[in-house]
Amino acid sequence: MRPRKMGTWALFGALVLAGSLGLAACGGDDSGDSDTNGGDNGAAAAKGGIYRVGTTDFGFNGGFDPSGEYLGWAWDLYSNLLTRQLTGYRHTEGAAGVELVPDVAESIPEPTDNGTTWTFTLKKGVMFGPPVNREVTSKDYVTAFERIGTESVVAQYGFYYSDIVGMKEFKEGTSKTISGITTPDDHTIVFKTTKPIGDFGYRLAMPATGPMPAEVTDCFTKAGEYGRYVISSGPYMIKGSDKLDATSCKTMKPISGFNPTKQLSMVRNPNYDAATDSTEQREALPDGFEFIINTNQKDIFDKIEAGEYEDSVDAVPPDVARRYSTDDALKDRLKSFTDDSTNYIYMNLGEAPFDDVNVRKAVNFVMDKDALRRAWGGPLYGEIGTHIAPPTLYPGSTEFDGYDPYASENNAGDLAKAQEAMKASAYDTDKDGSCDAGSCSGVLFLNRSIDPFVKMSPVIRESLAKIGIKVQVRELPTGPAYETSGNVSNRIQIGANARWGKDYPDASTFMVLFDGRNILATGNSNYALTGMTAAQAKEFKVPYPKGGVPTVDADIDTCAAAIGDERAACWVALDKKLMEEVVPWVPYMFGKNTDLLGPAVTKWDFDQFSGEAAYAHVAVDPSKQK
């Protein structure tokens, strides 16, 4: 899923920081990490009040229709507040927050038939909110999968379900049902897959699979349309849902509590029965939520400070974070948690000089990762990255404790080791540790033109110059930068515009980035072109190096089919192989999510699944609100 916005309000952010209000620029020397556990924020948590959250932009990319929406924060809203999937999470921080637990399912079953059949029993008494007002049945989950299989709905992560038996035929229109999903009764649903899928349970926790009442969703078959009509199965509903006239498609008007460019208001779902849920997953303490668009990011944090908002979706600006983290009276209100994203520099394995693994190793050795992290705002914004998938995706594993194949003092880069690596490269003709072939100059380096990415460009340029690589910097806004790097024919040699977050807590959601079979001419996300074949290079009209391009496709297949401990060990081994043998990236930082809480917040937690605030476990004291 798309991680939250970092440093939005790009046009003005730098100006504001440089402006007259005396705010320091980013990149300070935060030495302490203000990580504090979630839990209470002082006063006793109680029910009641409205929890208000500011954001510069909702950023929904699928119209808030659960079938197509692919934004991390939207998933946070669905799974904490609005919809209940068969499986789910505890909505808390750390390892406990990424352990799969049953939600509407009575339990998480062991797959049968060699891992290809999953049979779930649904809890009784789970109800849809108004105006549907009936029990959620197994058929409502089938409806969700039928929407995923409906092309016009544009389910952005529908590929996770393409291995369900019959999904292909349903999608192509040769079958009216998905044969691999059956409902023997209202409380039983059976999934058959074409091959064992070790992480299928995680995939069923994704919001697109939540229950959907066909009597409403059948009216909305175009991308994003259902987003204004989402029917609740969770503790809250969109304000005004009870006024929705669902007697026919023509009588339905968008639910009043959601205006995609202004506000999303939620109130309690009167049909929600807490007995069908657990407080471990959802406490549902506030009486409602207000998510408010405020285009002035500075104003959002001023309002939090003044008690007019409780929280923000936007990352806390570094100057604000620094002020709170260094003030004993305020630092409890600043939260910072790893959000399971990796910020990385990618190198194009098909382009000189990065088609030589020794050059790629040299780049890893020389990169000043600490300076890159300072560009983001310091330790509050991330841990130094030393491998591909963040550590949370390897729960219980100690394999990455202290792991850093390119370690350097203070993470500032090790020029001597970089030069040693470069000497082994064909691009260092005189073996002095500096890249000196013609292709070492004018190297096309792509980055984003917004803060904090622009602050990284000089760091990267100078680090690379130390080993003789002279880059030509090209900075573009976020969208065009992604489009440019995703177009193979652009032949971007090295780039820092990318960051990646998990879809669910399994390393597979990172390893897809190295699957050569996924390389597309446009819209490609395997920017390093790991695993590209000569035939693909010909198709994309790009050069193919004489030595070939390393592939890990077989490793990915092996790991994807594994389950349990074997699966975890397999991904760990692949992560290390990528870091030490293939070396497509310089992973410089495991991202963190920072949150600033208002004075009225009495309980708060972080949702490790979504990488956002765990709204299921927040509480507010109305007497302290303004």
Partner 1 sequence: MGRYIVRRLLWTVLVVVLVTLLTFVIFFVLPKGDPATRFAGKSPTPELIQEVKESLGLDKSVPEQYGLFLKRLVTGDEYGWPGLGKSFQNKQPVRPELIQRAQVTITLIIGGALLWLAIGIPVGVISALRRGSVLDRVSMGTALFFVSAPVFWLGLLSLYVFWKQLGWLPGTGYVSFGASPGTWFSHMLLPWMVLALLFAAIYARVVRGNMIDVMTEDYIRTARAKGLSERRVVMKHELRTGITPVITLLAIDLGVLVGGTIVTETVFNLQGLGNWLLIAAQNNDLPVTLAVTVLVAAAVSILSLVADILYAVLDPRVRYQ
Q: Please say whether the beta carbons of 17 and 319 come within 8 A.
A: yes
* Residue 461 φ/ψ, nearest 5 degrees: -60, -45
> Quick one: 481 or 613, whose CB is closer to partner 1?
481
Q: Please say whether the beta carbons of 474 and 486 come within 8 A.
A: no
Taking the complex as a whole, how short is the minimal distance between the CB of residue 536 and partner 1, in angstroms? 13
> Quick one: 298 or 455, whose CB is closer to partner 1?
298
> Quick one: 107 or 152, whose CB is closer to partner 1?
152
Token code pair at residue 344: 């990385």
> Quick one: 431 or 626, whose CB is closer to partner 1?
626
> Quick one: 227 or 286, whose CB is closer to partner 1?
227
The rounded distance, in Å, linking the Cα atoms of 226 and 242 is: 16
The residues facing 138 across adjacent strands are: none
Could you check whether the bond before residue 318 is cis, i.e. omega within 30 degrees of 0? no
> Quick one: 158 or 257, whose CB is closer to partner 1?
158
The residues facing 344 across adjacent strands are: 587
Rg for the chain, CA atoms, rounded: 25
> Quick one: 339 or 355, whose CB is closer to partner 1?
339
Taking the complex as a whole, how short is the minimal distance between the CB of residue 560 and partner 1, in angstroms? 14
> Quick one: 248 or 261, whose CB is closer to partner 1?
261
Residues that bind partner 1 (CB under 8 A): 1-2, 9-12, 15-16, 19-21, 57-58, 60-65, 70, 151-152, 154, 156-159, 222-225, 227-228, 260-262, 293-296, 298-299, 302-303, 306, 308, 477-480, 482-484, 486-487, 490, 500, 512-513, 518, 520, 522-523, 525
Q: Please say whether the beta carbons of 541 and 350 come within 8 A.
A: no
> Quick one: 202 or 604, whose CB is closer to partner 1?
202
Helix (H) or strand (E) holding 472: strand 471-476
Taking the complex as a whole, how short is the minimal distance between the CB of residue 528 and partner 1, in angstroms? 14
> Quick one: 38 or 227, whose CB is closer to partner 1?
227
The rounded distance, in Å, linking the Cα atoms of 328 and 123 is: 46
Could you check whether the bond before residue 102 is cis, i.e. omega within 30 degrees of 0? no
DSSP state of 320: H
Task: Tell me the torsion sign for CA atoms 571, 575, 581, 584.
Answer: positive
Going from the C-alpha of 544 to that of each of 349, 485, 487, 549, the distances in angstroms are 9, 18, 16, 8
Taking the complex as a whole, how short is the minimal distance between the CB of residue 67 and partner 1, in angstroms? 12
Dump the DSSP string for 8-30: --HHHHHHHHHSTT-PPPS----
Taking the complex as a whole, how short is the minimal distance between the CB of residue 425 and partner 1, in angstroms? 31
Comparing CA positions, the residue from 343, 388, 353 lying closest to residue 555 is: 388
Helix (H, G, I), strand (E, B) or coil at 468: coil
* Residue 59 φ/ψ, nearest 5 degrees: 75, 15
Token code pair at residue 373: 């992290």
597 residue type, one letter = L
Helix (H, G, I), strand (E, B) or coil at 452: coil
Q: Please say whether the beta carbons of 255 and 231 come within 8 A.
A: no
> Quick one: 239 or 361, whose CB is closer to partner 1?
239
Comparing CA positions, the residue from 138, 143, 147, 145 lying closest to residue 184 is: 138
> Quick one: 513 or 613, whose CB is closer to partner 1?
513
> Quick one: 299 or 404, whose CB is closer to partner 1?
299
Taking the complex as a whole, how short is the minimal distance between the CB of residue 328 and partner 1, in angstroms? 23
Taking the complex as a whole, how short is the minimal distance between the CB of residue 245 and partner 1, in angstroms? 19
Strands 585-596 and 334-347: antiparallel
Q: Report the chain's terminal Cα–Cα distance, integer Å.
A: 34
Taking the complex as a whole, how short is the minimal distance between the CB of residue 336 and partner 1, in angstroms? 24
Beta-carbon count within 10 A of 162 CB = 13
Taking the complex as a whole, how short is the minimal distance between the CB of residue 607 and partner 1, in angstroms? 20
Q: Please say whether the beta carbons of 126 and 104 come within 8 A.
A: yes
Strands 606-607 and 258-259: unpaired
Helix (H) or strand (E) holding 337: strand 334-347
Taking the complex as a whole, how short is the minimal distance between the CB of residue 125 and partner 1, in angstroms? 34
Taking the complex as a whole, how short is the minimal distance between the CB of residue 572 and partner 1, in angstroms? 22
Taking the complex as a whole, how short is the minimal distance between the CB of residue 605 and partner 1, in angstroms? 26
Taking the complex as a whole, how short is the minimal distance between the CB of residue 500 and partner 1, in angstroms? 8
